[in-house]
Amino acid sequence: MGSLTKHYIDIPSYTATPERRPIMPRAIIAAGHPDTAAAAATVIADGGNAFDGAVAALAMACVAEPVLASLGGGGFLHARPAGEAPVVYDFFTQTPKRKAPDATLDFRSVRVDFGDATQEFHIGRGSMATPGAVAGLCAVQDELCRLPLGKLLAPARRLAEQGVEINAFQHGIARIVEPILRADAAVLALHASPADPSRLAAVGERVPWPDFAAALAQIAQAGPALLHDGPWAERLAADCRAGGHLTTTDLADYRVERRAPLGLDYRDARLHLNPPPSVGGALLALTLELLAEASLRGIAFGTPPHRLLLAEAMAATGELRALLAPGRAPDDALRATHRGRFATRLRALGLGAGGPLFRRGTTQISIADADGNLASLTLSNGEGADYVLPGTGIVINNMLGEADLAGGGFHRWPEDTRLGSMMCPTLVAHADGGWTITGSSGSNRIRSAILQVLVNRIDLGLPLDEAVAAPRIHLEDGVLSLEPPVAEETLAALAARWRSPHVWRAQNVFFGGAHSVGIDAAGHLHGAGDGRRGGVVRAVP
């Protein structure tokens, strides 16, 4: 596969006692920050299961990864209780029941520089959708967890009181989105240096969030009613009367949905994906169906046929996505049409089956425990709407301002509808009895990141750590982006098909963060944090 810079922590499958008897870890956790993983480890060590860990990690991510996570956003938990069928808890954001007039909206554009690319985002009260994260964490705790909600929120509450120590990755993320953070004084205050509130906190500084600590204590006592049918709801709706859409009815009527996952057999594995109305799982399934038209057997990572196959499948999936209304999954006729077009492309390249072969702000939490409980949780706040719910420290999402969710254009969303999402927390059952638990952050790069982890694992047989660390590609709007290293012959082959492929200077946060864990055929737990987004792994002895 060539030389790779590996960004992961290798966790042994067991440790040995002096009597040389293996002791399996109680659980394995992969997340985007050491404190996020530590919160999950703390509650699991206290008697919780993988789902207790997921709830504790969700709350902690809002403190430790505040640019990427907030209780003012939403997400999905893909849960597989031991011995039971997987189920997806959908607590993503919902569009308001009624639209305010465009002329009255607080809806602003901000450009963010990723270094090798720029992206436009939209913020303001007119970008806020109904949040679901508080309702989601409470539903999961009620139905899947062993410990009371107060214990699960306690690690995050303690860190919010004392202040999270800013690490290099979180500081770098804050610097990238600094134009958004500076657009509102209350938002900036959550990220500012205690010594100099005019600048962002530096690496090593601690930033306490006393309002958020108090908010967590209130949620532990009152549950989701605070935000959906109580004083927080009334304040949020009142503030949205000037420039926003949300009302108390929107908040009161929000419901967490439980959905059967979208199933797909790919090679010798069974994949469980996020189902519609989210589009990420359906599009990922289509890309894998297209790849199934060709064999990757014997193809080496990074060679021309490997990269051409991935890029062609991404291109065909992108064409199909352009035909779909927001939230609509591809029907059989569209799928068949695009499989046919893809097969034609493969034959033209000499890559057909049997032919000659040459070869947004979001965070991910993956947990497996020794009992067989599996949890893949993806949480997003977009970039935040530049609004802090007063007295809580909770930044509300800007999902109505996300270009990849806007479909036919801003302010044209269907009313009272669960927003579609690229988020796709994924569970993979392997033929040998093992599992891979993955997912990713990264806006439109979510499905390409997950796709490549799956292809690396299932088709190329890479260990989980290498599958996550391996350089990625992403195709969007005709621009093919590649992480280094890229062989000259591979770049030449791609340039013949896509004009001026863009090779980034280094692996980058742009390409997602697929923090993943797995169970091998022998039942050993292992994990890989994605270094592109500060990934870490934590084992619970």
392 is catalytic: no
Q: How many CA atoms lie within 13 A of 352 on its CB side?
A: 12
- Among 16-30, 148-162, 275-289, 524-538, whose mean pLDDT is lowest? 16-30
Strands (E) across 393-504 are located at 394-395, 426-429, 435-438, 473-476, 479-482, 502-503
E strands along 381-519, which residues? 388-389, 394-395, 426-429, 435-438, 473-476, 479-482, 502-503, 516-519
Whole-angstrom CA distances from 99 to 272, 413, 414 are: 35, 9, 9
Q: What is the pLDDT of residue 524?
A: 93
Tens-digit pLDDT profile for residues 254-300: 999 999 999 999 999 999 999 988 888 888 988 898 888 787 877 89
Coil, helix or strand at residue 447: helix
For residue 404, is pLDDT > 90? Answer: no
| Domain map (residue ranges) of the chain | 22-70+89-258+365-403, 269-362+443-532
Q: Considering the chain, what is the average pLDDT of its residues?
A: 87
Tens digit of each residue's pLDDT (9 = 90 or more) over 359-399: 257 899 999 999 999 999 999 998 899 999 999 999 999 99
Q: What is the pLDDT of residue 277?
A: 87
* 40-44, 327-331, 396-400: least confidently modelled range: 327-331
pLDDT of 21:
34
What single DSSP character describes residue 98?
S
Active-site residue, from 95, 130, 303, 362: 362
pLDDT of 498-535, one tens digit each? 888 999 999 988 899 999 999 999 999 999 999 999 99
Summarised one tens digit per residue, pLDDT across range 293-314 is: 787 877 899 999 899 989 988 8
pLDDT at 334 over 80: no
Fold designation for 269-362+443-532: Glutamine Phosphoribosylpyrophosphate, subunit 1, domain 1 (3.60.20)
User: What does the pLDDT look like over 79-114, one tens digit per residue?
Assistant: 999 999 999 999 999 999 999 999 899 999 988 776
Mean pLDDT, rounded, for 2-9: 29
